[in-house]
């Protein structure tokens, strides 16, 4: 929430002199109490100030954090998602390893010939395949080692990035495919992006350095 210059002044006064009555605030600002009423209403409704009966206004302290949380909850997956990095289900494990290096990612989304999500393959899935019998890496399809649908944790462009980050933590994965339903094909999902731990870290840095 963006405060007006006058509202910021009121907050400063209450921080310094609270508890303070509206009468005293009005005097300090050379305003009538009536003129002050809408600003005080906004500041108390948003939780920045608390109106204590027969005592006056006090500064609440907590809202700065609440405001940051409010801003973060407004950011949608669609605002920050990256390009999907995909591989076909019939590509070999060897090809998947090469793609991982070429694309410089840790997770690939596995899709069918129409681009619909079939599974996810992570670097550890590929490492596991590569420490076993390595003679068939070029013939073994990636679909053998991937985690497959319907066990894939996904997100959508409309979902809040906070919810996506909670899914990453809760399910202990590095990346989520961003998907949308395919018209006329129930249960099929089109991959339109990805959210990774790096996406969240980058956003965290952007938020922390905004306005500097
Ligand atoms: P790493 O290989 O670095 O451990 P992850 O922690 O992302 O990478 O993967 C752990 C396991 O979870 C792997 O077996 C992978 O196939 C699976 N996995 C990765 N992302 C997802 C996802 N979004 N939904 C379901 N399973 C996933």
Instruction: Please give, one letter per residue, the 3-state secondary structure of 150-165.
Output: CCCCCECCCCEHHHHH
Distance (angstroms) between ligand 1 centre and the Cα of 173 equals 5
C-alpha 153/C-alpha 138 separation (Å) is 28
Residue nearest to atom 5 of ligand 1 (CA): 173
Q: What is the pLDDT of residue 211?
A: 64
pLDDT digits (tens, 9 = 90+) for 7-53: 999 999 999 998 999 999 999 999 999 999 999 999 998 888 999 99
Distance (angstroms) between ligand 1 centre and the Cα of 154 equals 12
| Best residue among 84, 107, 191 to mutate for probing ligand 1, ranked by most atoms within 8 Å of CB | 107
Band (pLDDT 50/70/90 cuts) for residue 84 is very high
CA angle 170, 74, 7 (to 5 degrees): 130
Instruction: Tell which residue, 64, 55, 69, 124, has the closest CA to residue 93.
Output: 124
Question: Whole-prediction pTM value?
Answer: 0.75
Q: What are phi and psi of 189, to 5 degrees?
A: -125, 135
CA angle 160, 161, 163 (to 5 degrees): 70
Distance (angstroms) between ligand 1 centre and the Cα of 107 equals 8
Q: What is the pLDDT of residue 60?
A: 81
Residue 68 has pLDDT above 90, yes or no: no
Are residues 59 and 16 in contact, defined by beta-carbon separation less than 8 angstroms?
no
Residue 152 has pLDDT above 70, yes or no: yes
Q: What is the pLDDT of residue 82?
A: 95
Residue nearest to atom 25 of ligand 1 (CA): 152
Helix axes 161-171, 197-209, angle to 10 degrees: 130
Average model confidence (pLDDT) across the chain: 93
Q: Which residues form ligand 1's pocket by a CB distance below 6 Å?
A: 106-107, 120-125, 147, 151-153, 172-176
Distance (angstroms) between ligand 1 centre and the Cα of 121 equals 7
Q: What is the pLDDT of residue 70?
A: 80
């Amino acid at each position: 929430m963006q405060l007006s210059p006058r509202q910021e002044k009121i907050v400063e006064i209450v921080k310094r002199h609270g508890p303070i009555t509206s009468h005293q605030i009005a005097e300090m600002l050379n305003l009538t109490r009536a003129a002050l009423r809408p600003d005080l209403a906004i500041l108390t409704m948003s939780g920045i100030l608390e109106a204590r009966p027969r005592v006056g206004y006090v500064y609440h302290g907590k809202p700065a954090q609440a405001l940051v949380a409010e801003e973060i909850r407004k950011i949608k997956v669609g605002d920050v998602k990256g390009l999907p990095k995909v591989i076909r289900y019939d590509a070999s494990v060897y090809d998947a390893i090469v793609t991982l290096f070429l694309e410089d990612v840790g997770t690939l989304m596995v899709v069918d010939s129409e681009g619909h999500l079939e599974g996810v393959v992570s670097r550890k899935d590929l490492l596991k395949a590569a420490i076993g019998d390595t003679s068939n890496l070029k013939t073994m399809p990636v679909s053998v080692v991937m985690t497959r649908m319907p066990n894939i944790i996904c997100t959508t462009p409309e979902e809040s990035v906070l919810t996506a980050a909670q899914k990453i933590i809760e399910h202990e994965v590095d990346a989520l495919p961003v998907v949308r339903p395919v018209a006329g094909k129930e249960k099929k999902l089109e991959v339109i992006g990805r959210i990774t731990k790096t996406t969240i870290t980058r956003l965290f840095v952007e938020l922390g350095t905004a306005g500097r």
